[in-house]
A and B are shown apart, each in its own frame.
Chain A
Amino acid sequence: MPSAPSDTPTGLLTISPTALSVAPDWFSTRSNAAWTEFQALPLPGLKDENWRYSNAKKIELSDHAPAQTPTAEQSKAALAATEGLKERAARFVFVNDTLVESDTNGLPAGVVCVSFEGALKTHADVLQQHFMKADQALGSSKFAALHLAHLKAGTVIIVPKDVVIEKPIEVFHWVVGDHAAIFPHTLVVTGDNAQVSVVDHYRSLEGEGGLSIAIADLVGGSGSKITYAACQELADDAQALHLSSITAGRDASVKSFQVQLGASFSRSESVSDLVGQGARSDMLSVSLPIGDQVVDQRTLQRHKAPHATSDLLYKNALYGQSRSIFSGLIIVDEGAHYTDAYQTCRNLLNSNEAEATSLPGLEINADQVKCSHGATSGPISDEELFYLKARGISDSESRKLIIEGFLAGVVERFGNSELLDSLVARIDEKLERAV
């Protein structure tokens, strides 16, 4: 058991958020209410169903404070470390929740792609309609309230009807400084038949701990397509929480991808609401915990309309004494007939001490439904390993190939080849450390 927190609350538990200078009244009101809510809500306990096998105290609120405005050197260093995609429509770089670069030259006319602060000034109407409207169904109301209370940074992307953005929009969130906390926010709203692809990166500038409590809300209009990736590569002793909600309208298709490579504790909560007929949500994830990293994944596929599809594939390759917890639920509402909903979690255990827990669930209240859920955990097959070794490939290299292959299936389903290449390279880098 972890030791009990000290009696005097400190850090994020007590530090009052500083208000955004440009905030309109409605936002200040919500922000203040969120701070009150955060203080009033208890930390999720060990008996909380959404935190089973995990522990909310792994997010050490008392140990972190809102990140300081970066120095010129830090901003420069972050920009230098931001390699990013060559083919992109826009790029935003934040350091400690401060915007240090935005490049939107590659965007088609009519697209809104602005920092959160900017959107408060220019697109309050859209924010009022969509900003943090989803319930926190998977156990992190307290953390979501903290996010809102401290929210300063992030991107708001609004793609009008019929506008197609071919290249991805890339957003980097860097955290620097010991015990620094950031609260990155992403809101994507697509009009009918619009298309957009957004990648959020969460990274540490230096090797020290930090905390990221991020929220990404994706709202897909009729017939629109959104692809979204959250790539978490924070420092080894950082902590990460990513709360995302997807709302897919009629015939909308949303593909989301969680990549968890960094942090000592990372938790993702991903909710897909299929609200329109023919909507589709592909929920993908890869993680590669090593050492004593813990990856905590909670998902919810809510079918609220008929003829919709959701397809979830999470893969974890575990090393050392690392742990993964996957808890996924599919709920098919009354009337959501002809639902296709699938959920697969596969864990590859590369050490006897690694531990993967899978908690799949189904709740079906409609007819003509095709649902499946499955979870597998196991070591690399001896026969696969023998086959590779029989070709002269060393044991460690053979394992690396098999794990790359295991994870590649998910990465490839995501699409974008340039992003894919860079992700595979980063997974390889981490594998080099792990094997």
Chain B
Amino acid sequence: MSLEIKSLHAQIPGREILKGLNLTINPGEVHAIMGPNGSGKSTLSKVLCGHEDYEVTSGEVLLDGENILDMAVDARSRAGLFLAFQYPHEIPGVSNANFLRAALKARLPKGEDIDAVKFYKQLYARMDQLEMDRSFTSRSVNEGFSGGEKKRNEILQLMMLEPKYAILDETDSGLDIDALKIVSRGVNAMRSENRGFLVITHYQRLLNYIQPDIVHVLKDGRIVKTGGKELSLELEERGYDWVVEEPLAAAA
């Protein structure tokens, strides 16, 4: 049981972005990926979810042994993969509650529906944890939300969908310190021995609140260094320029 990324190569037309990325996330682990702008961090999250702008040229991604690269975007989600978007999209006219119900219903056998009472009970409990006002259930998905509200809404979806593996793509961007604390609290509440996390971030700050077990440095489409959480502090202090590829990590 693990999320295994094996020698992953991916490109947009004319430019290779991921150049042989290897990474294994076991349930219960929180991995952080840090790296300079343009290193391929967001590309990795989009490729894992199956965004059609990116073409995987070689490699494998196994979710508990199953190659998900052949699966459609929605099937990957149902298989247990979750992406908290860096820039969540607005869906005018679709209420947050209906959106979440549709997402949960998609996980049930055809023809079955979710228990509305139970659903709202759980939804409200999760919203309370994220200090979200009840009005967010009836508001259109992300429409008119502030940056912080959008990020909280991503974590709300994470909490409701309870994925096996969650990728957080720069969840800290655009958050003030209070919102960051709330969002982190939500994520930490979801940490469990059955769930793996991949936290993608440019800044060390987030990792003060979501403490990683393992930190990776992504540079030019490859993981060039792996260490404990002290690595993130070192990166914060020294930047990325000093990091040189470790032959072992590249060959792994």
B99 at the interface (CB under 8 A from A): yes
A406 and B140 alpha carbons, distance in the complex (Å): 11
A382 at the interface (CB under 8 A from B): yes
- Asked if B93 and A409 sit within 8 Å, CB to CB, the answer is yes
B239 contacts across to A, CB distance below 8 A: none
A164 CB to closest chain B CB (Å) equals 28
- Asked if A407 and B103 sit within 8 Å, CB to CB, the answer is no
- Asked if B93 and A387 sit within 8 Å, CB to CB, the answer is no
Closest B residue by C-beta to A398: B74
Tell me the residues in window 5-64 of chain A with beta carbons closer than 8 Å to chain B beta carbons.
none
Interface of B, helix, strand, loop or mixed by DSSP:
mixed
- Asked if A394 and B106 sit within 8 Å, CB to CB, the answer is yes
A388 contacts across to B, CB distance below 8 A: 91, 99, 102
B181 contacts across to A, CB distance below 8 A: none
- Chain B 154-168 against A: per-residue CB contact (8 Å), 1 yes, 0 no? 000100010000000
- Asked if A395 and B72 sit within 8 Å, CB to CB, the answer is yes
Closest B residue by C-beta to A395: B74
- Asked if A401 and B52 sit within 8 Å, CB to CB, the answer is no
B89 at the interface (CB under 8 A from A): yes
A395 and B161 alpha carbons, distance in the complex (Å): 18
Tell me the residues in window 72-101 of chain B with beta carbons closer than 8 Å to chain A beta carbons.
72-75, 77-78, 83, 85, 88-94, 98-99
- Asked if A408 and B93 sit within 8 Å, CB to CB, the answer is yes
A174 and B94 alpha carbons, distance in the complex (Å): 33
- Asked if A389 and B92 sit within 8 Å, CB to CB, the answer is no
Tell me the residues in window 391-421 of chain A with beta carbons closer than 8 Å to chain B beta carbons.
391-395, 397-398, 401-402, 404-409
B103 contacts across to A, CB distance below 8 A: 391-393
Q: Known contacts being A401-B98, A401-B99, is A391 close to B77, with CB within 8 Å?
A: yes
Closest A residue by C-beta to B46: A386
Q: Known contacts being A392-B107, A395-B72, is A405 close to B77, with CB within 8 Å?
A: no
- Asked if B92 and A401 sit within 8 Å, CB to CB, the answer is no
A404 contacts across to B, CB distance below 8 A: 93-94
Q: B72, B89, B102, B140: which contacts A387 (Cβ < 8 A)?
A: B89
- Asked if B77 and A392 sit within 8 Å, CB to CB, the answer is yes
A409 contacts across to B, CB distance below 8 A: 92-93
B88 contacts across to A, CB distance below 8 A: 387
B105 CB to closest chain A CB (Å) equals 8
A384 at the interface (CB under 8 A from B): yes
A402 and B143 alpha carbons, distance in the complex (Å): 13
Tell me the residues in window 349-392 of chain A with beta carbons closer than 8 Å to chain B beta carbons.
381-384, 386-392
B106 contacts across to A, CB distance below 8 A: 391-394, 397
B72 contacts across to A, CB distance below 8 A: 389, 395
Closest A residue by C-beta to B73: A389
The number of chain A residues with a CB under 8 A from chain B is 24
B102 contacts across to A, CB distance below 8 A: 388, 391, 393, 397, 401
A4 CB to closest chain B CB (Å) equals 45
Interface of A, helix, strand, loop or mixed by DSSP:
helix
B49 at the interface (CB under 8 A from A): yes
- Asked if B161 and A406 sit within 8 Å, CB to CB, the answer is no
A367 and B63 alpha carbons, distance in the complex (Å): 66
A344 and B247 alpha carbons, distance in the complex (Å): 60
B156 CB to closest chain A CB (Å) equals 12
- Asked if B52 and A382 sit within 8 Å, CB to CB, the answer is yes
Closest A residue by C-beta to B103: A391
A387 and B86 alpha carbons, distance in the complex (Å): 11
- Asked if B73 and A386 sit within 8 Å, CB to CB, the answer is yes
Residue from B52, B102, B161 whose CB has the most chain A CB atoms within 10 Å: B102
Residue from B75, B78, B106 whose CB has the most chain A CB atoms within 10 Å: B106
B13 CB to closest chain A CB (Å) equals 16
A390 and B83 alpha carbons, distance in the complex (Å): 7
A207 and B148 alpha carbons, distance in the complex (Å): 52
- Asked if B52 and A402 sit within 8 Å, CB to CB, the answer is no
- Asked if B89 and A384 sit within 8 Å, CB to CB, the answer is yes
- Asked if B91 and A394 sit within 8 Å, CB to CB, the answer is no
A409 and B90 alpha carbons, distance in the complex (Å): 14
B90 contacts across to A, CB distance below 8 A: 384
- Asked if B92 and A387 sit within 8 Å, CB to CB, the answer is no
B51 at the interface (CB under 8 A from A): yes
A31 and B69 alpha carbons, distance in the complex (Å): 71
A382 and B52 alpha carbons, distance in the complex (Å): 9
- Chain B 30-60 against A: per-residue CB contact (8 Å), 1 yes, 0 no? 0000000000000000000101100000000
Residue from B90, B94, B99 whose CB has the most chain A CB atoms within 10 Å: B94
A401 contacts across to B, CB distance below 8 A: 91, 94, 98-99, 102
A398 contacts across to B, CB distance below 8 A: 74
B94 contacts across to A, CB distance below 8 A: 401-402, 404-405, 408
- Asked if B49 and A390 sit within 8 Å, CB to CB, the answer is yes
Closest B residue by C-beta to A411: B93
Q: A387, A390, A395: which contacts B91 (Cβ < 8 A)?
A: A387
- Asked if A407 and B73 sit within 8 Å, CB to CB, the answer is no
A407 and B75 alpha carbons, distance in the complex (Å): 27
Provide 6 A-B residue pairs closer than 8 Å at the C-beta atoms, listed in order of the A residue. A384-B90, A384-B91, A388-B102, A389-B73, A395-B74, A401-B99
CB within 8 Å of A: which residues of B?
A: 49, 51-52, 72-75, 77-78, 83, 85, 88-94, 98-99, 102-103, 106-107, 140, 157, 161
Additional pairs, 4, CB under 8 Å, beyond known A386-B73, A391-B99: A382-B52, A394-B74, A402-B94, A404-B93
Nearest 7 interchain pairs by C-beta: A405-B93, A392-B77, A405-B94, A387-B89, A408-B93, A389-B73, A391-B103
